[in-house]
């Protein structure tokens, strides 16, 4: 009886718990985008969520206890949103840092790099880095995920070969919600 009670709390308490969680979610800073919401806010949230569907090899972290570092290049708005969002959160059990990156900076120590619309992306990384861009039109070379805005909704395209080349593994669940998945090299 006792174990049953533990496994299945009474409905009233469960309902209360649900309500509390809902309120917490609603109040959370990263809350999901609605129509008219700030695009940067949504993209920051997506960027954060992508990390949950991607696996980095252990070699990506040097030293092994290093923080999870997200680099943002050329998008101060997104940098600000992201900084707010990650406060107090962890990614893959690691503390998270958000770093502003300038063009030409070394990508060492980064796990994710967001490249703003105005920036050109260039550079090689010694460790696997998830490259996210927001280029209009075609997918920039080297980009793994590219944001689009369709019907005022933020969507994204995934270039799977680039991801795999980088040594990252991406969950099929992420692929299933992508606007488009590029399977082979288009360039």
Q: Does 31 bind other proteins (CB under 8 A)?
A: yes
Q: Does 153 bind other proteins (CB under 8 A)?
A: yes
Stretch that binds other proteins, among 9-17, 55-63, 79-87, 101-109 (CB under 8 A): 9-17
Question: Closest Cα partner for 131 from 73, 67, 187, 61?
Answer: 73
Q: Residue 28 is encoded by which pair of tokens? A: 């959370």
State phi, psi for 155 to the nearest 5 degrees: -130, 180
Q: Does 171 bind other proteins (CB under 8 A)?
A: yes
Between 89 and 117, CB nearer to other proteins:
89
Q: Which of residues 38-67 bind other proteins (CB under 8 A)?
A: 42, 46, 49, 52-53
C-alpha–C-alpha distance, residues 130 and 41, integer Å: 19
Q: Which of 4, 11, 63, 137 binds other proteins (CB under 8 A)?
A: 11
Q: Does 87 bind other proteins (CB under 8 A)?
A: no
Closest approach of other proteins to the CB of residue 124, in Å: 29
Contact by Cβ (8 Å): 31, 65? no
C-alpha–C-alpha distance, residues 102 and 136, integer Å: 21
Q: Does 19 bind other proteins (CB under 8 A)?
A: yes
Q: Specify the 3-state DSSP secondary structure of 182.
A: strand
Q: Does 176 bind other proteins (CB under 8 A)?
A: yes
Q: Cβ contacts of residue 14 below 8 Å, gap of 6+?
A: none
Terminal-residue alpha carbon distance, the chain: 64
Q: Does 177 bind other proteins (CB under 8 A)?
A: yes
Q: How many CB atoms lie within 10 A of CB 173?
A: 9
Closest approach of other proteins to the CB of residue 127, in Å: 22
Between 11 and 63, CB nearer to other proteins:
11
State the residues that interact with other proteins by CB under 8 A: 11, 14-19, 21-22, 25-26, 31-34, 42, 46, 49, 52-53, 153-156, 171, 173-174, 176-177
């Amino acid at each position: 009886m006792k174990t049953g009670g533990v496994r299945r709390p009474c409905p009233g308490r469960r309902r209360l718990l649900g309500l509390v969680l809902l309120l917490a979610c609603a109040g959370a800073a990263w809350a999901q985008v609605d129509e008219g919401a700030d695009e940067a806010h949504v993209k920051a949230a997506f960027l954060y969520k992508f990390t949950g569907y991607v696996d980095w090899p252990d070699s990506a972290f040097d030293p092994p206890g290093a923080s999870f570092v997200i680099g943002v290049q050329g998008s101060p708005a997104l940098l600000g949103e992201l900084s707010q969002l990650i406060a107090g959160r962890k990614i893959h059990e690691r503390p998270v840092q958000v770093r502003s990156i300038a063009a030409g900076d070394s990508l060492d120590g980064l796990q994710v790099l967001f490249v703003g619309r105005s920036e050109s992306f260039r550079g090689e990384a010694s460790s696997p880095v998830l490259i996210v861009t927001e280029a209009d039109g075609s997918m920039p070379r080297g980009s793994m995920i590219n944001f689009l805005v369709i019907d005022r909704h933020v969507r994204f395209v995934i270039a799977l070969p680039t991801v795999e080349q980088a040594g990252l593994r991406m969950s099929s669940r992420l692929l299933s919600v992508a606007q488009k998945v590029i399977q082979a090299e288009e360039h």
